[in-house]
Amino acid sequence: MTSRLPPLRLLTVFDAVLRQGGVRPAAATLNVSQPAVSQALRQLEDFLGVALLDRGTRPARLTEAGRLLHTATVEGLGRIDEAVAEIGRLTSEAEGSVRIACSVGFATYWLMPRLAAFYERHPEIAVHVMTASSGSPELAAGVDIALRYGDGQWRDGAVTRLFAERIDPVASPALAERLRGTPAPLEAAPLIHVEVEDGRWTPWDAYLRFLGLPPRGRAKGLRFTNYVQATQAALGGQGIVLGWRSITGDLVAEGRLRPVIDRPMLPSDSYYMVRSPQADGKASAIVSDWLTQAAAVPPGPPGPPA
C-alpha cells in the first residue's frame, strides 16, 4: 500500500514558514538557504497536486487546501512533539528507577521503614516495591531485584546474602511480661498462626518440635493469611506470634514486641538479594549496594542512609 503522506521534512518546512511568517525567517530558523525552503514548498505542492499558498498576494496567503493542511500539520507535529517528550520522560524514569519484589511482610516491616533514609540520600532514584505472597518472588519481567528467603541456590540472577534469619516467639510487652511469670508461657496464651503455602516458612508445630514440645495444631489460636495481619494481632496483645528477624526484628528492638522465651531458632535458610542480569544500570547498582549495607546493620530504628 502506497502512503499518501508527504515526507515529514516537507511538512516541517511548511510549518516553519507559517510559524515564522515567511520564507526568510523560516530559513534562518531551520538553518538552511531561502531557495531550499522555497524548493521544499514546491515539492510539497507537487506531491499533493495543489497550491498551498496564493502567491498573488503580499504576503502570500494560505489557500483552502493550505489551511486544511496547516491545521492538520500543527496538530500532528504537536502530538509528535508531545510523544517524543513523553518517551524522554519514560526513558529518564526507567534509568532512575528500580523495581524490587519481596514478600508483603518484608516490604512492610523491613524495606519500607528504611527507604525514607535512602530517599534522603538519593532523591533522584525511584524505588518501586512489588509485593508477593511468596517469600521467594520471581525475577519477572520488569523486576530488577528480588529479595528472597531460601538457600541461595538460584541461577536467574546475581545472588548476595543479606542476613541470617532468627525465629522466636514474641508478644506485646504487657502480654510477654505476664507470660514470663507462668511455668508454660506458650500454653498460657493463644498462638497466632500464619497460613502460607511456602514450605520454607517455619510454622508453630515445627518450632514446638524444636523445643521438644508436642504440637498444638492450627485449630487452636488465631489464624491469618500473611505476616502483616499476624504481626498486627501480636502488637494488639491478641496472642503470641513466631517472630522473624526480617519482620519483627525492628519491633523488638524498639520495644513494641518482646520475646516470650529465650529459645531462638536459627534456620539454615537466609535472606538474599537476587539482581536481574538486565538490571545493569547505575540506579540498580546504587540500590543493591544500599541494600547490602542496610542488611549489615542490626535490627532497630533506621539510621542515616548509607
**Cβ-contact 180, 243 below 8 angstroms:** no
For residues 276 and 146, membership in a common domain is answered with yes
Question: Could you tell me the pLDDT band of residue 305, with boundaries at 50, 70 and 90?
Answer: very low
For residues 197 and 74, membership in a common domain is answered with no
For residues 253 and 173, membership in a common domain is answered with yes
Closest CA to 147 of 252, 276, 268, 253: 276
Residue 194 has pLDDT above 80, yes or no: yes
Total domains in the fold of the chain: 3
For residue 114, the one-letter residue type is: R
Strand 167-171 and strand 258-259: the pairing is antiparallel
Grid coordinates belonging to 227: 505476616
For residues 74 and 102, membership in a common domain is answered with no
> Considering the domain boundaries, does residue 53 fall inside one?
yes
Per-residue model confidence (pLDDT) at position 136: 77
pTM of the entire structure? 0.66
Closest CA to 235 of 255, 205, 261, 264: 255
> Considering the domain boundaries, does residue 240 fall inside one?
yes
Grid coordinates belonging to 7: 515526507
> Considering the domain boundaries, does residue 306 fall inside one?
no
Report the alpha-carbon distance of residue 22 to residue 7 in Å, rounded. 21
Helix (H) or strand (E) run with residue 268 in it: none
Report the alpha-carbon distance of residue 165 to residue 202 in Å, rounded. 11
pLDDT tens, position by position, 36-74: 888 988 898 888 888 888 777 777 778 888 888 888 887
Residue 90 has pLDDT above 60, yes or no: no
> Considering the domain boundaries, does residue 105 fall inside one?
yes
Q: What are the Cα distances from residue 26, in Å, to 22, 23, 37, 47, 211?
A: 6, 5, 8, 21, 86
Query: What distance separates the 2 farthest-apart alpha carbons in the chain?
Result: 108
For residue 255, give its domain range: 167-259
Helix (H) or strand (E) run with residue 102 in it: strand 97-103
For residues 83 and 102, membership in a common domain is answered with no
Strand order in the sheet with 270-275: 126-132, 97-103, 145-150, 270-275, 158-164
Closest CA to 113 of 98, 129, 97: 129
What is the CATH classification number for the domain harbouring 118? 3.40.190.10
Which DSSP letter does residue 231 get? H
pLDDT tens, position by position, 206-249: 999 999 988 775 556 788 888 889 999 999 999 999 999 999 99
Per-residue model confidence (pLDDT) at position 95: 59
> Considering the domain boundaries, does residue 300 fall inside one?
no
